Structures are given as C-alpha cells and as structure tokens.
C-alpha cells in the first residue's frame, strides 16, 4: 500500500502538518481522517486533533458550512440538551487526550460555540459516539462516494 503521508498530501494538495497517523480509512482503504500531533514540525500549535482528509467529505461539509451550518449547529447545541451535553463531553475528552493545548474540538476555547464543522465531523468519525458530530454527518447525503475520491 502507498505511504499514508503521500496519500494525505495528494488529498490535501500540500504536505500535511503535524501528521501522526491515519485515524479512519474510507471503504476504499484510503485515509479519511488523520490524527495530528499537538504541535507541528516548527513547534507551532496545531489545534485540530482529528483532520478530515477525504475530499468527498471535505466538500460536503464545506457546503454545510457555506449554507450557515456553523451558526445553525451552534444554535442547535445551545438549545438541545442532548447536543449540548454531547459537545461538552467531546470538548472535555479532547482536553483529556490533548492536555498540551487546553482546547476543545477544532481548537475551540469558548464552550458552546462551534468553530469548524469539519473538525466535529472528523472527531465523530474517529471517536464514534459523539452525537453532535454524528448529527452533522447525518446531513451529508452520501457519506462515501461510489468510487475513491483520492487523486491518482
């Protein structure tokens, strides 16, 4: 199998920063979510623990964000006690597994406010059981494409 770093570089169109490992593979065996180190190669903080690399999912989540998804899901998390608890638990878990940065999912430092739906989707895929992230992913019409989206 090809080197994961090379695959992720093709997916992103640039070398990945702070790459640690592949956290989840798509049905085609390619990286879909990567796990990042707390600091990149230059010692700069990298706030995102899990990074969405599947081009299909990145595009789908980008469409959700462009349609006001960050604001809508921030409101939903504030208004729905189950989603609020899910977000609080996931942010606390993020802080436990990455204490060096003391930040929630996607580097959020304020509780209750979402920063990036991609980070929440990636967290849900890498750590199943995160209800808010799973609900965000539920808005993606097809989680996986019919064929691999990683460029050859």
Adjacency order of strands within the sheet including 50-52: 19-25, 31-36, 50-52
Residues 55-100 have pLDDT tens digits of 999 999 999 999 999 999 999 999 999 999 999 999 999 999 999 9
How would residue 1 be classed by pLDDT, with cut points 50, 70 and 90?
Answer: very low
Q: Which two tokens stand for residue 101?
A: 């940065």
pTM: 0.94
Q: How high is the pLDDT of residue 134?
A: 97
């Amino acid at each position: 199998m090809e080197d994961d770093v090379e695959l992720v570089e093709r997916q992103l169109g640039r070398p990945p920063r702070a790459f640690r490992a592949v956290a989840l593979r798509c049905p085609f065996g390619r990286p879909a979510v990567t796990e990042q180190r707390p600091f990149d190669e230059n010692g700069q903080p990298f706030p995102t623990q899990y990074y969405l690399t599947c081009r299909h999912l990145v595009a789908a989540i980008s469409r959700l964000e462009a349609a006001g998804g960050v604001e809508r899901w921030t409101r939903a998390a504030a208004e729905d006690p189950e989603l609020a608890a899910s977000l609080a638990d996931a942010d606390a878990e993020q802080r436990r597994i990455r204490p060096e940065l003391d930040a929630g999912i996607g580097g959020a430092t304020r509780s209750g406010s979402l920063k990036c739906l991609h980070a929440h989707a990636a967290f849900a895929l890498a750590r199943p059981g995160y209800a808010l992230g799973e609900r965000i992913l539920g808005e993606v019409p097809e989680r996986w494409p019919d064929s691999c989206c990683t460029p050859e």
